[in-house]
Structure 1
Amino acid sequence: MLTKANQKNGDILSILGFGCMRLPTKGNSIDETRTIEMIHDAIEKGVNYFDTAYFYHGGKSESMLGKALSGGYREKVKVATKLPPFLVKNLDGAKKIMSTQLSKLQTEYIDYYLLHMLTDKPMFDRLVSLGIMEWLEELKRDGTIKNIGFSFHGGKTDFELIVKAYPWDFCQIQYNYLDENNQATKSGLLLASSLGIPVIIMEPLRGGKLVNNLPQEVIQTFKNYDSERTPAEWALRWIWNHSEVNVVLSGMSTEEQMKENIKIASDARENSLTEGENKIFDKVKSVMLEKTKIPCTGCGYCMPCPYGVNIPGCFSSYNDKYLLEDKLMRWKYMQTLGAMSEKPAFASQCVECGKCESHCPQNIQIRKELKIVSKEMEGILFKPVVKVARKFLKIKK
């Protein structure tokens, strides 16, 4: 297992992290026996970064990880978990969540603690106003947490604002060869790295979509170059080729997936892809772009929208629905476009002012396409559901 030093604190981290969002299941529950065996096996093979969250597996992921790490394993690894901002209404609420997490994880400290799923700067500002950051700093001083970070699911501009707004110990972004120009984007990765902030990568395989839902032309392109490599290996090697990446998380559900990922992580060095391999990715991305409904490259020239629409984000979610046949795309659309943030960025917010279209290098009829996105991704029940959820969580515009 290859490792990389955390440039901020010197931690030696395995380049492959174990994501505990997709643990093995048995019926509707986590398969405890298999999960514990997999976690122990991963540790023995060099994996030392484990990522969980308050609500993964219906709130049972932290407890399972805590159980698996008992008996001497806890001291061998770094544990990351997250504070869900959308459940935090005040500082006392955050403290209760933290207390619960420490209990579930059977630990006295958390190595890497994240603000979970930030989508925009106002969401972060709200947490600051509640005193969350001052409290986290107190916890860091007394050793209850070791590092303060955030995971991000919004657009490029907000990522840049958030990453510059605080002296973060690390950050976590979605990044893969399909998302090079989506969400935080490659420029966000480079920015974080330039600020000396370690970067943890999530969704390297898009929840398996870059393995199981690829167009046949893409699969054949990979096979024609190297028939031995799987789509998963191609995707992971592409990410690990980036010197700015510290750890790549993988939600491993089976022993076979874990075995393959650990094998790849034993020799997937940064800056190791050949010119020929990079050309394969250029071809693959070209094929996938041709198959998208809207030819948006995520360049962002259309932004900012004066009415708050995240135009590239809307198009990306819509394209993924068809390109990867993702049945959860409406939920991801709500999440990524800020349903639970102070200022959502949905397609339906477009008032057809047209200012964006003159800046689009692809000459996309943005107003027309946003209408289609709004109709297909939002639907008749979308606004009532969002309204109820926001009222429950007391989120104000």
Structure 2
Amino acid sequence: MDRRDFIKSGLFAAAVGAAMGPKAIAQEANRRVEQEQKAKDILNYNPQMQYRPMGRTGVNVSALGFGMLRLPMKNGHVDFDQTTPMVHRAIEGGVNYIDTGRVYMGGESEQAVGKALAGGWRDRVYVTSKMPWWEIQSADDFEKFFDQSRRTIDTDVIDFYHIHMIMHRAWKDYVLPYRLIEKMENLKAQGKIRFMGFSFHDSLQLFKRVVEYTPAWDFCLIQHNYLDYEYEAGVLGPKYAAANGMGLAVMKPVRTGFLANLPQSMREALASTGIRKPDAEWALDYLWDIPEVSVAVSGMGSMEDVEENLSYAAKAKPNMLTPAEREALGAAIYAYRHAPGHIDCTGCYQCIPCPQNVAIGYIFAYVYNNYLLHRNKERAMLDYTVSMSPVQRGDPASSCIGCGECLAKCPQHLDIPNLLAKVKETMGK
């Protein structure tokens, strides 16, 4: 909505207020002034979207971000003809945060962003991208990959730039030895990026270590949802980031689609409290309820997804959940954790590094427990293989040799070798 639209709508509302009396006129005038101020201060402001401060960056971002990782496909490639109108509709709805990465969709995600933002749309949004540490082979690769991303997106400046997917191996073997943080600071000093941060997939302990390493971090991106309150950075991650002045983006709010299409047991648990919402709305509302969350980055694969998410985001407020809604989410969590065969792994990652590089916590907490409820092996194998490379997360259950080194490290006292054998039998690797 541009300034002329604000004025027109404001005059109409003032006329209505006049018929209602002086108090209504004053209230409408204040509302109009507030909206016009927001239009000046917030990029791509739309009164139907909610906005939140992004930590020390000083900018306000839309409560909903467009994650460019679940795009419509055609003949094995991103369908740009479908994707571009989706991005435009999201921007028209007030979205101002577009999240992509060099390795997303085989490199086609950044292409999709560049195509969608051509013709003036770039000026209405903040664009993010990410540096994949596992592709770095020499000291020059950081700048080379950054420039490639910038050219692909067709932008002079990347607003939010991440070190992608920091984990224990990434931190120890790549981020520190290759001085990636200093390289990020140089990009910022040169004006090539506006804000520097990282995305994260490991334990809360490592998360704290990374956050505390430098005051130069502006923001971070973590995985979180109502099932994973203990997984990775968990429910304490947002509070710790905010306490250090960082903006916080959250990825996978619907757990790679799992929470957007709940198994019957979880859906019945939610409904048992008498509250009914679409599955995805429950997941997004949980995140928007958390005051420290700046933006929930949601992958959207269709125009229907965009429209639904925009309607949910219009109501997004900190502390928005009622006691009854919190009870409903608790019932759904209980149903999930009491599924037959559920492995009570919190994904704390105390068991890694494994001598055989097995991705223990990810396999149990994220892949196998999901599979037990939806029983869709093809879908589970995508999480197990495509999303779990040996370099990034680790190796499959079949790599376990039963050495038992993990047993003393597990706070849940799980029989990890035998459970890995069960996973191998079920998943076939």
Distance 1:148 1:334, change over 3 A: farther
Residue identity opposite 1:4 in structure 2: R
| Deviation of 1:76 (Å) | 1.2
- For residues 232-273 of structure 1, give each alpha carbon's deviation from its aligned partner in whole angstroms, at most 9, with x where no partner exists: 111110111111111001111111111111111111211111
Q: Match for residue 348 of structure 1? A: 400
Residue aligned with 2:408, SS: coil
| Deviation of 1:19 (Å) | 0.6
Map 1:1-397 → 2, pairs under 5 A: 1-120=49-168, 122-123=170-171, 125-167=173-215, 168-212=217-261, 214-225=262-273, 228-291=276-339, 293-296=341-344, 298=346, 300=348, 303=350, 312-316=361-365, 317-324=367-374, 325=376, 327-330=378-381, 332-333=383-384, 339-341=390-392, 348=400, 351-352=403-404, 354-356=407-409, 359-360=411-412, 364-373=414-423, 376=426, 379=429
Distance 2:242 2:389 in 1: 25
Distance 1:127 1:297 in 2: 28
More displaced, 370-379 or 154-163?
Answer: 370-379
| Deviation of 1:53 (Å) | 0.9
Residue aligned with 1:318, SS: helix
| Deviation of 1:278 (Å) | 0.5
For the 8 Å contact 1:243–1:270, the answer to whether it is kept is yes
Residue identity opposite 1:340 in structure 2: V
Distance 1:255 1:47 in 2: 14
Distance 1:170 1:326 in 2: 36
Distance 1:236 1:136, change over 3 A: same
Residue identity opposite 1:197 in structure 2: M
| Deviation of 1:307 (Å) | 5.1
Residue identity opposite 1:287 in structure 2: A
| Deviation of 1:72 (Å) | 1.5
Residue aligned with 2:58, SS: coil
For the 8 Å contact 2:259–2:279, the answer to whether it is kept is yes
Residue aligned with 1:117, SS: strand
- For residues 334-373 of structure 1, give each alpha carbon's deviation from its aligned partner in whole angstroms, at most 9, with x where no partner exists: 687772159879772652254246x53xx64344324434
Distance 2:115 2:320 in 1: 38
Distance 1:281 1:342, change over 3 A: closer
Distance 1:170 1:110 in 2: 14
For the 8 Å contact 1:292–1:319, the answer to whether it is kept is no
More displaced, 88-97 or 325-334?
Answer: 325-334
For the 8 Å contact 1:2–1:266, the answer to whether it is kept is yes
Residue aligned with 1:355, SS: helix
Distance 1:138 1:2 in 2: 33
Residue identity opposite 2:231 in structure 1: N
Where does the alignment leave 5 or more consecutive residues of structure 1 unmatched? 380-397
Distance 1:9 1:231 in 2: 32
Residue identity opposite 1:46 in structure 2: G
| Deviation of 1:297 (Å) | 5.1
Residue identity opposite 1:339 in structure 2: P
Distance 1:375 1:187, change over 3 A: farther
Q: Which has the larger radius of gyration?
A: 2
Number of matched residues?
374
Distance 1:344 1:190, change over 3 A: farther
Residue identity opposite 2:227 in structure 1: L
**What TM-score do you get using the length of structure 2 for normalisation?**
0.79
Where does the alignment leave 5 or more consecutive residues of structure 2 unmatched? 1-48
For the 8 Å contact 1:240–1:268, the answer to whether it is kept is yes
For the 8 Å contact 2:63–2:316, the answer to whether it is kept is no
More displaced, 145-154 or 189-198?
Answer: 189-198
For the 8 Å contact 1:321–1:327, the answer to whether it is kept is no
Matched-pair identity in % = 32
Distance 2:148 2:347 in 1: 42
| Deviation of 1:222 (Å) | 2.9
Q: Match for residue 394 of structure 1? A: none
Distance 2:265 2:91 in 1: 37
More displaced, 280-289 or 120-129?
Answer: 120-129
